[in-house]
Amino acid sequence: MKAHYFGLLLFCFLTIAGFAQDGERKKTRIHIENADAITYSRGLVDAQRCVGHVVMRHDSTYFYCDSAYFFEKKNSFDAFGHIHIVVNDSVEIFSRTMNYDGESRFAEFHDDVRLVDDSTVLETNYLTYDRDAHLANYPNEAITTRGDKTLVSKIGSYRDDIKELSFFKDVVVTSPKYQMYTDTLFYNTNIEKMWFHGPTTIVNEENTMKGGYGHYLVDRDVAYVTRKPLLFNETQWFKSDSIYYDRNISFAKAMGSADMIDTAYKVIMRGEYVELWKQRGYSFVTDSARVVYYDGGDSLYMRADTMFFKFKSELNQEEKIWGHYGIRFFKSDMQGKCDSLTFLVADSTIRMRVAPVLWTDNSQLTADSINIVISNHQIDSVLQYNNAFIISRDTIAGYNQIKGRDILSSFRNGNLRNVDVTENARTIYWLRENDASLIGINVSKAANMRILMENGDISRIKYFHEIDETMFPEKELSEPDRYLPGFQWNEDVRPKDRDDIFRVVRTAEKAAPATPTIEPTEENRPAVAPRPHRRKPAAGTVVAPQ
């Protein structure tokens, strides 16, 4: 509505401006250049009546018609039939009747009006033209065609000196490539650029674009839209503060509070800058980048400096999400951080690289690299490669630890069930009775181990080759010896919820505390229970006491 009132005011202003006189311009007279017959009537009209092949001239502009009444004293004339005006080398106007005032150099055209400027044709039933302002106005509906485009509006104007069309109220642009609907549109045919104001919709066979302000490069099929812009098709939605779209290469970029939603793959990408390459089959987001994978009831929330999403297209048949630097993610049954992450959507596998840390329940998993397999929206297995380490807090004090070169952890219903440790397997765990009283701290190592878990606690351990196991009373095992080499506890870094992934964290890792060595004396020597002897049993199974 505001755009409509704006259009009416602008039209009135331009029309009034058309009557303004240039005080410095010298007044000139209208001349009859040709007529088959001329008669003079003094009665009511007080005019010369010109009939047949009439040609009138005012300055350098020629007017052609079938007949005319020339009012010599008023320096004006009325023309009838097959009216044709040659405004300049490129602009011509046609109509059935016309009134022209030589003093104001202002013309009014009625009935079947047609303005032609090279390949631009404007058609309406009423048009005014101001020669000084080079401005044509129409207050009623007009149809403008240019090449393969048709433009319709209720109100409009044309400046022939700068080649700019203005359209107001119920503007519709139609071409074989797209349709545009808006309240206000300006079209400069010199540079083939359109500017639109007010609610605007652009539709083509691939997408629909909406917004409140922007421009369209006609010869390049490129649009830029602001004020709540939206670009969407059957499966993808794109919204932000501003959107740039190149139809030729199916490329879009969103800037400022940007969202890209893919309903086919159930992926949401959010950030300050998002790009979408539809033909190539990928998009990426940066600057506060966030990706949500919402397949099923439990969504996976990820953030990074930059994140990418590949979807199936003509050039790509693989679906995956990956990101770089500062990656943190949250899911109800797992959380993590690393500097490189890849999520293969097809087989539900997450690959964590560069200082990865994974948290599940009360356990922390680290390694040089970690692979996670998800099944039925829950963790199915986790494989830790090189320098694998699992840490979990004891229910009362200390940390239970598992370490080896590689660790394969299997889950059931989201709970850790089996842990297989290969090469230089080592464990420290706090063994307790059912009433939580401490039995001792078990320290063991072997070439390989299989650890069976129950309710998040170690229930039994199977050792294989080169076995060494000792049960220590708590007071006998020194503080430094309660931690395996490479111990780092990062609970403070763990994301607490889906919004906490954006929390800026400094990895103030808790390493094994360094306890000063104190030589025992009779006064400070603790009373300890007898120490179990070390043993090297054959490969087999050790069952935790019940």
Residues 402 and 422 sit within 8 Å (Cβ to Cβ): no
Q: Give the SS3 label for residue 136.
A: strand
Instruction: Taking the CA atoms of 494, 352, 235 and 200 in sequence, report the sign of the dihedral they define.
Output: positive
338 token code pair: 């690393």
53 token code pair: 């092949």
Q: What is the pLDDT of residue 159?
A: 95
Residues 198 and 212 sit within 8 Å (Cβ to Cβ): yes
Q: What is the pLDDT of residue 340?
A: 94
170-179, 183-192, 409-418: least confident range: 409-418
Task: Name which of 450, 443, 449, 431 is nearest 469 in CA terms.
Answer: 443
Across 266-273, average pLDDT: 90
Q: What is the pLDDT of residue 469?
A: 85
Q: What is the pLDDT of residue 524?
A: 40
State the Cα–Cα distance between residues 27 and 7, nearest whole angstrom. Answer: 32
> Which stretch of DSSP H or E encloses residue 439?
strand 438-454
Residue 162 pLDDT > 70: yes
Q: Where in the chain is the domain with CATH 2.60.450.10?
A: 356-546
- CA-CA distances (angstroms) from residue 449 to 370, 398, 454? 19, 22, 16
Torsion of CA 219, 220, 225, 230, to 10 degrees: 120
Question: Between 529 and 343, where is the model more confident?
Answer: 343
State the Cα–Cα distance between residues 307 and 52, nearest whole angstrom. Answer: 76
Q: What is the pLDDT of residue 21?
A: 41
Q: Tokens 């019940």 sit at which residue?
A: 546
State the Cα–Cα distance between residues 358 and 454, nearest whole angstrom. Answer: 20
Query: What count of residues does the chain have?
Result: 546
Q: What is the pLDDT of residue 364?
A: 92
Q: Which runs of consecutive H residues, i.e. helices, occur in 313-398?
A: none
State the Cα–Cα distance between residues 94 and 365, nearest whole angstrom. Answer: 82
223 token code pair: 């649009």
**pLDDT (tens digit per residue) in 489-501:** 989 999 999 889 9
Q: What is the pLDDT of residue 25?
A: 59
236 token code pair: 């993808």
Out of 112-116, 312-316, 395-399, the most confident range is 112-116
Q: What is the pLDDT of residue 121?
A: 96
Residue 536 pLDDT > 60: no
Instruction: Taking the CA atoms of 390, 391, 394 and 397 in sequence, report the sign of the dihedral they define.
Output: positive
Burial class (CB in 10 A: 0-12, 13-18, 19+), 236: buried
State the Cα–Cα distance between residues 173 and 182, nearest whole angstrom. Answer: 9
State the pLDDT confidence band at 87, using cuts at 50, 70 and 90. Answer: confident
Q: What is the pLDDT of residue 525?
A: 39
Q: What is the pLDDT of residue 315?
A: 66
Residue 350 pLDDT > 50: yes
State the pLDDT confidence band at 359, using cuts at 50, 70 and 90. Answer: very high
Task: Name which of 150, 161, 214 is nearest 188 in CA terms.
Answer: 161
Burial class (CB in 10 A: 0-12, 13-18, 19+), 129: buried
Q: What is the pLDDT of residue 370?
A: 96
Residue 412 pLDDT > 80: yes
**pLDDT (tens digit per residue) in 360-376:** 888 899 999 999 998 88
Question: Between 465 and 513, where is the model more confident?
Answer: 465
**pLDDT (tens digit per residue) in 9-49:** 454 444 444 444 444 557 899 999 999 999 987 665 788 99
**pLDDT (tens digit per residue) in 456-503:** 677 788 888 888 888 899 888 888 999 999 999 989 999 999 889 988
Residue 2 pLDDT > 60: no
Share of the chain above pLDDT 70, in %: 86
Across 136-164, average pLDDT: 95
For residue 105, report the phi and psi dihedrals to the nearest 5 degrees.
Answer: 55, 45
> Which stretch of DSSP H or E encloses residue 168?
strand 164-174
State the Cα–Cα distance between residues 111 and 426, nearest whole angstrom. Answer: 97
Strands (DSSP E) found in 37-75: 37-41, 47-58, 61-71
State the Cα–Cα distance between residues 213 and 504, nearest whole angstrom. Answer: 36
Mean pLDDT computed over every residue of the chain: 85
Q: What is the pLDDT of residue 433?
A: 80
Q: Which fold has domain 356-546?
A: lipopolysaccharide transport protein A fold (2.60.450)
Residue 521 pLDDT > 60: no
Q: What is the pLDDT of residue 122?
A: 97
Q: What is the pLDDT of residue 531?
A: 37
Q: What is the pLDDT of residue 513?
A: 53
97 token code pair: 């009747």
